[in-house]
Amino acid sequence: MSRFVRGIAALVVVGLALTACASKSTPQASGTSANPCSSPSVLTSGALTVGAEFPYYAPFLVGPQSSPTGYEGDMINEIAKRLNLAAVKWVNIAFDQLCAPGTKKFDVGVSEITITSERAKAVDFSEPYFDANQGILVRADSKYANATKTEDLLGAKFGAEAGTTGLDYVNAHVKPQKPVSQFDTTDVTAQALKTGTIDVQIIDVPIAAGIRDGSNVPLKIIGEFVTNEQYGLAMQKGSPIKSCVDQAIKDLKADGTLTKLQNKYFPGTNPLPVFQPTA
């Protein structure tokens, strides 16, 4: 599944001025009208339609499904403002469908989606907005809670959500002795960990932290696999708003907005022990 936008008004003013001064005999030069990002081509007029998998994971998305906040929720609201869109409409989309090929029921998809070359064959990705590695989540009372290297985990039962980069990483680079269990959602995977169906859940570090902090069963992140993943917003191939979304995220990085969100929702993030791949 791995981190940060904006400015337009002057260009709009210039475009309007040129239009007012142009005579009928003097054609207006193209490109001097309103910036297209001030009136983007979206599915619902005046609104940014956002696809996300529910239930979602704090602190990326927090609160009611109709208007979540959190790191990604706040970022989406900022992007909508930068695109001059008055509303944000949230729709529930299964994670594997966010990156599936074909027509989309949303303008942008968000659910801690890692940018990969394989997924990019099916969707367009935005400028990356978040960096993450794969976390190793276990029960705090497990015999694996004090593991210090990957070899200590090879006899464990691993689990991950189907279609995630965490699942791909374990199969390709850890190669545990037992088959890796796949689950429909990260939430179901976490329940399997809590009940002992699996011993280890592989999930992005910030999501693992949210699961741990909200669990009624003591959980522990014992380390991470360094995968240098980046999250991006998923859009339908050829999306007319991709360049506008990209610029909004670049501006959010440049003006410090994403840094502020990082500090707000992920304060005091501590380095984790690094577990090495076995293959």
Q: What is the pLDDT of residues 222-256, one digit of tens each?
A: 999 999 999 999 999 999 999 999 999 999 999 99
CATH architecture of 133-229: 3-Layer(aba) Sandwich (3.40)
Helical spans, DSSP H, in the chain: 9-21, 70-82, 95-98, 165-169, 186-195, 205-213, 242-254, 257-265
Average pLDDT over residues 172-189: 97
Q: What is the pLDDT of residue 34?
A: 62
pLDDT in tens, 51-81: 999 988 889 999 999 999 999 999 999 999 9
pLDDT classification of 1: cutoffs 50, 70, 90:
low
More confident residue, 279 or 8: 279
Is 250 within 8 Å of 129 (Cβ atoms)?
no
Cα separation, 2 vs 129, in Å, equals: 8
Q: In the predicted model, what is the mean pLDDT of residues 254-261? A: 96
The pLDDT value given to residue 266: 86
- pLDDT tens-place string over residues 108-118: 999 999 999 99
Instruction: State the pLDDT at residue 268.
Output: 59
Average pLDDT, the chain: 89
Q: How confident is the model at residue 12 (pLDDT cuts 50, 70, 90)?
A: very low
Amino acid at 104: K
pLDDT value at position 35?
A: 79
- 213 has a pLDDT exceeding 50: yes
**Termini Cα distance of the chain:** 21
26-30, 31-35, 54-58, 212-216: the lowest-pLDDT one: 26-30
pLDDT (tens digit per residue) in 181-204? 999 999 999 999 999 999 999 999
Whether the pLDDT of residue 8 is over 90: the answer is no
Q: Does the pLDDT value for residue 33 go beyond 60? A: no
Domain ranges of the chain: 133-229
Cβ count within 10 A of residue 253: 17
Query: Helix or strand or coil: residue 230?
Result: strand
pLDDT at 279: 85
Asked if 113 contacts 119 with a C-beta cutoff of 8 angstroms, the reply is yes
Asked if residue 130 has pLDDT above 90, the reply is yes
Axis-axis angle for helices 70-82, 242-254 (nearest 10): 110
- Does the pLDDT value for residue 134 go beyond 50? yes
Inform me whether the pLDDT recorded for 22 exceeds 60. Answer: no
Q: How far is CA 231 from CA 58, 129, 248, in A?
A: 16, 6, 15
pLDDT at 269: 63
* More confidently predicted of 31 and 47: 47
